[in-house]
Every structure is written in structure tokens, then in C-alpha cells.
A = this chain, B = another copy of it.
Amino acid sequence: MSQIHHTIDKLQITEQLHKAVSEQNTDYIQQLLQGLVAEEVAEILEATPPKERSQLWGLLPSDTQGEILGHTNDEVRANLLSHLDQHEIIQLTEALETDDIADIIQSLPDEEKSSLLAKLPEQNRRAVQTALSYPEDTAGGLMSTDFIAVRSDVTLEVVIRLLRKIGSLPKDMVDLIVRDRDGKYQGTLKLNELLVHDEETLVADLVDPKRFAIKALVPDKEVATIFEKNDLISIAVVDENNFVLGRITIDDVVDIIREEAERAQMASAGLDDEEDLFAPPLRSAKRRSFWLGINLLTAIFASIVIGFFEATIEQVVALAVLMPIIASMGGIAGTQTATIVIRAIATGKLGAKNSHKLILKETAVGSFNGLLWAILTSVVTWFWFQDSALGIIFGAAMLINLVAAAFAGALIPLFLNKIKVDPALASGLMLTTVTDSLGFFVFLGLATIVFTI
């Protein structure tokens, strides 16, 4: 490999692979796969429709399949595993770290889990069982049991001898875990301390007690925050009694951060981020219909509001022409505020005191924009329909709806967060219910007063 990194054009390789698969050009497929790391192959599999996906999977070198599976999303992994028998799955896991084996076992149907576990080699089984005993989204579920620990009452000479015996250290290891005589966590010892100090020095004199460990049940989102805040590379995981269970490294944390961001983005449209891009259409349709159903109810609610004013619309049909503009502008203004507030909540920035100020600020923003667009649109309406009263009603409704949208856009996510519902998930639908219904009500209500009373 060249020493300068040339970015791989994954898209181009994906397309060439798809072509090679359809032409059954095995040699070319192997050649294309050679330059790729496991995560890239996993992404290419996710980007491949089901039929071609199984063909491609069958052509992957079997010693790479395990690591690749560790990088695919849940649905694609379960799908690929469903085509394998137990013997093949055991083979897959042979070269894997125990946390990756646990991921694979978790993707299997319940009845296969325990029978597969029983077939694992003794030393792996224990570690995998430990990993499985913690929920997937906690420090315990994330950790690898692949760490090196030394006792604090030995000299550096002993430690260096141990390292020489081990030969190659686990990837990304910048420090050793230090335990006391009872096996409890004490701190860490940086590898470079071994280089710069005398061999007679005791580990205890160099251990960094400020490097804390985390409990196995800490949620993964919090693990990510701890890494980010403290610029960590790895951290030890301990049980309730401070015994060391394993360690988490930054590469797992990077995945969590990426996934968490994707989850929030997908949730705002009522979608699951672990879904297969090429899932069968009927299955996808079923999953998405729940969200459409909820939206239908909110849309019907807005229609009922319009229904109150049928008589007015019959008289002034221009109202029907104009009313979607009010609703649409309210929706956008409210979404802008809600997006800001949802992000501030997600980053832990909104407490009782400053959220009041934020609501005030956002409502002020809504008022400024309300005023601007009220004036502009009322003039446009006046000329469009040659009706000054209609123009003034439209402007007034626009102003009221934009102020209300900003207020609701700030309030709804804060309220949802208070009642422990994910604001990213439900804010959008609740907000448009308010901006649509209120927009229609104010506009048609004002028109009813002016034109029919």
C-alpha cells in the first residue's frame, strides 16, 4: 500500500461489485474486495439488494465474514445469519473478539442462542456470557474482555517482562489497567511511563489514580459523553464491587456517536435506523404505516376545524385557496424553533431557568418574522384578490400563527422531554397539529367575523 492515503471511491467500487456479481465474475470480485476493510464491505452489503447480497456474501473469504457481520446493521446481520447453519456460525466467530461474538449471538433467534453458546470454546464462552449478561446499550454490552492488567505492588521490570512475553499488545492500548492485590481497579499506567522510568520503580508510584473506571450498567450514550468530555482513548469497565470486567475503546464510541445521530434523524420521520435499506416493501410499508396513521388522526383534527367554517368558505371561496399558506408558514417557523430546542435538549443545555429565556427569545423571533410576513403577504393578498379586508385578515392570521408556532415549537419539545418522551420522535407531528389547526381556526374564524356577522 502506498504511504499516502488515497481515498477509496466506495461508490465506484460498489457499482463495479454489483456489475461483477451480476456477471458472476468471481476473480474480479475478489480483486475488488482486497483493498477494502471490514466496515467498508459491511456498508457495501447494506447497499446491495437482497439477491445480489447473498451472492456477494457467498464469495467473501470465510475468515473475513465474522468481522464484516460485526459492522452491518441489525436487520442485515440477522438476514445473513439466517442462511447459515450452526457449524458455519461457529466458524465465523473463531477470529472475533468476544464483544463481536456477543453481537452475533444477540442477532440469532432465541432458540439458537443457547445451543450455539454451548458450542463455543470454553474460554470464549465465559467472556461471551459476561458480555451477554449486560444489555447491548450499556458499557457492559460494549466492552471487550481483551485487556492487560498488572498489580500495583510489582516493579516496572516485572511489567516489561510480562509485555515481552505477550509480544503484541491489543490494538489501541495506550495504558495498562492497574489492580490492587484483591483484583480491584486502582487506575492506569501509561505505556510510555515504562520507557522513561527506572526498572526498579513500583507500579504503585506511577499509577494514574485520576483515570477513573465506569460501571458496567452505564448507558452507552453516557459512555460516549464521558469519552468526549475527557478525550479518552480507552476506559476500564468494572462491576458493582470495583472488579475489572473489560475495557471500551474509542472506535466503539465513534460508532455509538454516529448511530445516535442517525437514530435522531430517522426518528423524526418515525423510522428505525436499524432497518435494511432493501427490506421487502410490504414489511417496510407495515412499519411506516403506524406513523402515517397517527398523522391521519392529526390531519383529520385539522379538517374538523375547517369543517366548522364550511358556510364561510362557501361564501368566500378565496379562503380555501389561501388557508394552506398560513398553515405551511406556521409549520416551517415552528420546525425551525423546535429543531433548535430539540438539539439544545439533546446536548443537555436546557434547564428551568434558561429554557424560560429561550422560549421568550424564540417567541420574539416568531414575532419579528410574523410581522415581516404578515405585512408582505397581506399586501400580496390584497392585490391578488382585490379585497382589502381579505388582505388584512390574512396578515393578522399569519402574524398570530407565526408567533404561536414559535411558542409551540419551543414548548412542545420541552414538554415531551419533561414527560420522558423523545422530543426528536414526537415533536414534529404535535407541532404541525398545532400550527395547522390553529392557522385554519384563526384565519377562518377572523373571516367569519368580518364577512358573515
Q: Which residues of A contact B (CB under 8 A)?
A: 1-5, 7, 10-12, 14-15, 18-19, 37, 39-40, 43, 46-49, 160, 163-164, 167-169, 171-174, 185-187, 191-192, 194-196, 209-215, 218, 222, 225-231, 233, 235, 238, 242, 250-251, 253-255, 257-258, 261-262, 264-266, 268-271, 275, 277-278, 281-282, 284-285, 288-289, 291-292, 295-296, 298-300, 302-303, 306-307, 310, 313-314, 317-325, 327-329, 332-333, 335-336, 339-340, 343-344, 347-354, 357-358, 361, 364-365, 367-369, 372-373, 376-377, 380, 432, 436, 440
Distance between A50 CB and nearest chain B CB, rounded to angstroms: 10
Distance between A351 CB and nearest chain B CB, rounded to angstroms: 4
Distance between A8 CB and nearest chain B CB, rounded to angstroms: 8
Q: Are A164 and B254 in contact (CB under 8 A)?
A: no
Chain B residue with minimal CB distance to A310?
B317
- Residue of A48, A172, A214, A328 with highest tally of chain B CB at under 10 A: A328
Q: Are B233 and A250 in contact (CB under 8 A)?
A: yes
The interface residues of chain B lying within 8 Å CB-to-CB of A168 are: 192, 196
Q: Are B195 and A194 in contact (CB under 8 A)?
A: yes
A352 to B300, CA, bound (A): 40
- With contact pairs A39-B229, A254-B257 given, residues A295 and B358 touching in the complex (Cβ less than 8 Å): no
Distance between A340 CB and nearest chain B CB, rounded to angstroms: 7
Q: Are B171 and A231 in contact (CB under 8 A)?
A: yes
Distance between A405 CB and nearest chain B CB, rounded to angstroms: 10
Chain B residue with minimal CB distance to A316?
B314
- With contact pairs A163-B192, A351-B14 given, residues A218 and B7 touching in the complex (Cβ less than 8 Å): yes
- With contact pairs A265-B343, A336-B271, A354-B18 given, residues A222 and B7 touching in the complex (Cβ less than 8 Å): yes
Distance between A210 CB and nearest chain B CB, rounded to angstroms: 6
Which of B163, B268, B278, B313 contacts A320, CB < 8 Å? Answer: B313
Per DSSP, chain A at the interface is helix
Q: Are A344 and B291 in contact (CB under 8 A)?
A: no
The interface residues of chain B lying within 8 Å CB-to-CB of A369 are: 285, 288-289, 292
Which of B187, B289, B340 contacts A3, CB < 8 Å? Answer: B187
Further contacts, 12 of them, CB under 8 A, given A172-B231, A289-B369, A299-B325: A5-B213, A5-B218, A47-B354, A49-B354, A171-B231, A172-B174, A233-B233, A233-B250, A261-B262, A264-B265, A288-B336, A306-B321
The interface residues of chain B lying within 8 Å CB-to-CB of A43 are: 347-349
A46 to B174, CA, bound (A): 33
Q: Are B314 and A214 in contact (CB under 8 A)?
A: no
A5 to B226, CA, bound (A): 9
A121 to B415, CA, bound (A): 52
The interface residues of chain B lying within 8 Å CB-to-CB of A350 are: 11, 47
